[in-house]
Amino acid sequence: MSRTKTYSIIIPAFNEETAIGDLLTRMQTLGILEAYEVIVVDDGSTDRTREIAGNFNVRLLRHEVNKGYGASLKTGIRNASGDKVMMLDSDGQHDPASIEEMVKLLDEYDMAIGERTADSYQVKNRRGGKKIIRKVGEFLVEQKLPDFNSGFRGFDKKLIMPMLHLMPNGFSFSTTSTLAFLKEGYSIGRFPIKVNNRQGRASSVKFFKDGTKTLLLLFRIIMLFNPLKVFFPASAIITLLGSIWGIHGYFVFGRFSNSAIILITLGMFLFFFGLLADQISLLNRKKD
């Protein structure tokens, strides 16, 4: 396998001593470690993750303390020398043989995502939450979402760099980057992958705690990229309720109630706040 190193593969790892060696051995067998720049970001591991990764032909970066999945990816992206960057989980869930397929897509698209097939491993108690999050996300961005939180993805470095300050340090980096690329109108390619059960320690993602964070994150992102999607419906509903309540009061009691006036005023304020938020979001997203 021969290729100029214009692609970088970033592998965030936190206490993955059980899986990281098998993953890198597989990549070495496939010739990936020689063909690409492979960066392992040790996110403050307290086990032998760093020691094991150091035995392979990879760039090894380290956080002194655990900062989070997203923070590890940010570190890897900032230090990557490739024009395109790819993300690969360190827990053995992703088959590195699929990297060649992603490279082909990145030659055509701004972002490439490995979409998990129906027979891929999933934690059962997360399926319902993911479905709700997908529906909410599709409503907010007004289009069908690809596998928005798949950890196996790649993008053009020059496009993701100006967005890094928008990305969270936690596990929601994948979700945020998908929505950000969609809202900016970038092209997204996809290809099917089968995800295996993770090796080693159990996942640190908790359904109620992290699922709620993701829902809040979706609203945060839409506030950043399209605030009127939130403010305008709220303004319209509150104004309509106030008008109905006021008209009812006028015909039944002979007066337009104070509460109706307050609701209508609130609806108007929400609309103008939305316009202001929309202008602020444009300034926030301005690229150098």
> Considering 182, 201, 225, which residue would you say is the last residue of a domain?
225
Distances (CA, A) of 168 to 33, 41, 134, 171: 28, 17, 19, 8
194 and 271 co-located in one domain: no
Boundary (domain end) residue, out of 225, 244, 266: 225
The answer on 129 and 269 residing in a single domain is no
Q: Half-sphere exposure of 94 toward its Cβ, with a 13 Å CA cutoff?
A: 26
Q: How many domains does the chain have?
A: 2
**Which of 225, 242, 274 is the endpoint of a domain?**
225
- Say yes or no: 81 and 151 in one domain: yes
What are the distances in angstroms from CA 144 to CA 71, 74, 109, 186, 268? 28, 27, 17, 14, 31
pTM more than 0.85: no
Asked if residue 181 lies in contact with residue 221, where contact means CB atoms within 8 angstroms, the answer is no
Residue 2 lies in a domain: no
Containing structural domain, residue 151: 7-225
- From first to last of its 288 residues, what are the pLDDT tens digits of the chain? 445 558 999 999 999 999 999 999 999 999 999 999 999 999 999 999 999 999 999 999 999 999 999 999 999 999 999 999 999 998 888 889 999 999 999 999 999 999 888 766 565 555 555 667 667 777 777 777 777 778 899 999 999 999 898 888 887 788 888 888 888 889 999 999 888 776 655 555 555 555 676 667 777 777 877 888 889 999 999 999 999 999 999 898 888 899 999 999 999 999 999 999 888 887 776 655
Pair (37, 127) in one structural domain: yes
In a domain, 1, yes or no: no
CATH of the domain at 201: 3.90.550.10
